[in-house]
């Protein structure tokens, strides 16, 4: 499936967060002139001793879910008659089902908190799992997402010099161009700082040297996307400290925050980097995870 016809897929479970995700995904699909596919996944829970009068046949349950999903799609069609809206009801575990859907999607949009299958202690576990394994960018939308009130729209992106960071930067510039926003590139640096000058690994301890090395790293990371998108205004924030804290601060007035699923320094066993997880847990704006 070509990127032009690949749908924007949105996961729905009836929660406030998934409703916010549908609003965000609808706007994206309209802007990109691509279909919108609303996907609901439900798990069949089997109990040993069902209470009398509480047994619902699977076919009846599925019919109710399908009617509800189609009613939701029809409400979207009424507001956006030019948008092609599809629905898909799946049975099984939400994470594997949604990951499979990403193979043919332009992007997947999820609410950050859900009901039942999409829930977690703070952030829905499905959002974390899908972000780590998806075949396309995943955008996680908080339930209380509101349009920014400032005139200057902003797409914040984390820059750390990794390959996934480079993909995140490309995605951020594409989104900024689509919505008429400026890009805010955030790089958090610590002392000592690892560098690979002269073909060997070295540690820089001098703060001024560390800052200069950070400036070079960010300039090199942004050079290609800036050339490809010459009309996009770019702000660069070099912030000493933890990357997640720097990104969350920059994202307080952002329309979208973009991170790679893993950056430098992540343990190989962690498929979703600690910075990405912290941002997903605490961001007040939509977060795109790119891998």
What is the DSSP code string of 88-143? EEEES-HHHHHHHHGGG-SEEEEESS-SGGG--SSS-HHHHHHHHH-SS-EEEE-T
3-state secondary structure of 58: helix
Same fold, 8-141 and 154-290: yes
CATH number for the domain formed by residue range(s) 154-290: 3.40.50.620
19-78: per-residue pLDDT in tens?
Answer: 999 999 999 999 999 999 999 998 765 555 555 555 556 777 888 889 999 999 999 999
**pLDDT, tens digit (0-9, with 9 covering 90-100), for 232-264:** 999 999 988 888 889 999 988 899 999 998 754
Tokens of 133: 């394994």
Each domain of the chain, given as residue ranges in start order, spans: 8-141, 154-290
Burial 131-165 (b: 16+ CB within 10 A, else e): bbbbebbbbbbbeebeeeeeeebbbbbbbbbbebb
Largest CA distance in the chain: 75
Task: Provide the residue count of the chain.
Answer: 291
> Which residues have C-beta within 8 Å of that of residue 208, sequence separation ≥ 6?
none
In CATH, which of 3.40.50.11740, 3.30.390.10, 3.30.70.660, 3.40.50.620 is domain 8-141? 3.40.50.620
Q: How confident is the model at residue 265 (pLDDT cuts 50, 70, 90)?
A: very low
């Amino acid at each position: 499936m070509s990127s032009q016809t690949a749908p924007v897929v949105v996961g729905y479970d009836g929660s406030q967060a998934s409703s916010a995700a549908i609003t965000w995904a609808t706007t994206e699909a309209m802007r990109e002139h691509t279909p919108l596919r609303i996907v609901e996944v439900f798990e069949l829970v089997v109990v040993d001793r069902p209470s009398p009068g509480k047994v619902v046949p699977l076919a009846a349950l599925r019919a109710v879910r399908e009617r509800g999903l189609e009613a939701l799609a029809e409400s979207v069609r009424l507001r956006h008659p030019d948008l092609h809206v599809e629905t898909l009801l799946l049975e099984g575990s939400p994470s594997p089902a949604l990951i499979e859907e990403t193979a043919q999607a332009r992007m997947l949009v999820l609410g950050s908190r859900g009901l039942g299958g999409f829930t977690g202690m703070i952030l829905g576990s499905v959002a974390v799992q899908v972000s780590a394994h998806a075949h396309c960018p995943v955008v996680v939308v908080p339930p209380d997402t509101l349009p920014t009130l400032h005139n200057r729209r902003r797409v914040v992106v984390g820059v750390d010099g990794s390959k996934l960071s480079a993909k995140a930067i490309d995605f951020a510039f594409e989104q900024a161009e689509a919505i008429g926003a400026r890009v805010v590139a955030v790089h958090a640096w610590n002392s000592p700082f690892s560098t690979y000058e002269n073909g060997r690994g070295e540690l820089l301890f001098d703060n001024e040297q560390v800052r200069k090395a950070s400036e070079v790293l960010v300039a090199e990371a942004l050079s290609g996307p800036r050339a490809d998108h010459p009309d996009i205004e770019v702000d660069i924030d070099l912030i000493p400290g933890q990357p997640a804290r720097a990104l969350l601060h920059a994202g307080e007035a952002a329309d979208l925050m973009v991170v790679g699923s893993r950056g430098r320094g992540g343990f190989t066993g962690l498929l979703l980097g600690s910075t990405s997880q912290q941002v997903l847990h605490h961001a007040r704006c939509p977060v795109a995870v790119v891998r």
